[in-house]
Amino acid sequence: MAAFLLLLAALGAGSDPKNGDELVRAMHDRYSGKWYQSLTFVQHNTRFFATDSVQHSTWFERAAIPGKLRIDFRDGPGFSPDAGILFVHDSLISIKGDTVTQSTAFIHPLMVLGFDVYAQSVDSTLDKLQSLGFDLASIRSDTWQGRPVYVVGAKAGDLHSRQFWVDKERLLFVRMLEPGQRDTSATSETQFNDYRPFKNGWVSAQVLFLGNGQRIWLEEYDQIQVDVPLTDGAFDARRWKTTK
C-alpha cells in the first residue's frame, strides 16, 4: 500500500496545473535561482503599414530582472537619439534629453510573463497578472507552432479575451491575445518567437505584434548578452544622459 501511495504521489507531481496560479508557480520554480539577472541587446524594428510599406528603426535595450527595462532610441523615423523609455517601479517614463515628457502607472505584461515571473516571488507575479485582468482560474491545453501549450484566460475557440500561452515543455511564455486598447472589438496579439538558450534561461530573439491577424510591428534582437553588470543609474530618469 505504501508503494502504491508513493506511485500516486509521483504521478500527481507531474500532472498539469489546474489553474493559472499553479502554472505561474511551475514557471517560477523551473528557473528560480537559475535565470539571468540582466539582459542587453540591440533591437531592430520593422513597422508595417496598410500600404505594404515599412519603416525601420534601431533601439538599444537594457533590463535588470525583475522589474526594470531601459530603451534608448538610436535611429529611425520619429525617434530622437537623445530620447527613450524607462519601465521601472510599475511605471512608464518617457524621456527626451534631460526632461521627463511622460510618467504614468503601467504594469508591462510582457516583462511580467517573459522575464520577471522567473525572478520575483510567485505572489508578486500573480498580483500583477490579476491587476492586468487575466482570468487565472481558466486554463486549458492547446498547440502553438507545433508545440503543446497551456492557455490561461480563455476557453477553446476564444482568441479575443485577454489570455497568455505558455510552452508546456520549457514553461516559457509564447503568446498573448487581448482586446485592442482603442477599439475593443479588435484583437491585439503578441508572439515571443525564436527562443534561444542563454546560460540557464532563454531569450526570445523575435517579438511580433499583430492587430486582427495583420503584422504591425516586428522586433529582432542581436548582440544579446546576459548577466552584464548594470548600474542602478541606468534606470534613473535623472541620470539618463550620463548613463547612455
Give domain status of residue 1, yes or no.
no
Give domain status of residue 11, yes or no.
no
Confirm if 226 and 201 have CB atoms less than 8 A apart. Answer: yes
pLDDT tens for each residue of 140-183: 999 999 999 999 999 999 999 999 999 999 999 999 999 999 99
What local confidence, expressed as pLDDT, does residue 14 receive? 65
User: Taking 60 as the threshold, does the pLDDT of residue 9 lie above it?
Assistant: no
Q: What is the spatial distance between Cα 188 and Cα 165, in angstroms, rounded to a whole number?
A: 14
Give domain status of residue 9, yes or no.
no
User: Taking 70 as the threshold, does the pLDDT of residue 184 lie above it?
Assistant: yes
What local confidence, expressed as pLDDT, does residue 4 receive? 41
Confirm if 61 and 68 have CB atoms less than 8 A apart. Answer: no
Percent of the chain with pLDDT strictly greater than 90:
87
Among the listed residues 160, 236, 168, 172, the one whose alpha carbon sits nearest the alpha carbon of residue 198: 172
Give domain status of residue 211, yes or no.
yes
pTM: 0.92
Q: How many domains does the chain contain in total?
A: 1
Give domain status of residue 41, yes or no.
yes
Give domain status of residue 146, yes or no.
yes
pLDDT tens for each residue of 59-114: 999 999 999 999 999 999 888 888 999 999 999 999 998 899 999 999 999 999 99
pLDDT band at 135 (very low <50, low <70, confident <90, very high): very high
Residue 31 sits in a domain of what CATH number? 2.50.20.10
Give domain status of residue 227, yes or no.
yes
Residues of the domain holding 203: 17-243
**Left, alpha or beta for 43 (phi > 0: left; psi -120 to 50: alpha)?**
beta
Give domain status of residue 118, yes or no.
yes
pLDDT tens for each residue of 13-70: 469 999 999 999 999 999 999 999 999 999 999 999 998 899 999 999 999 999 999 9
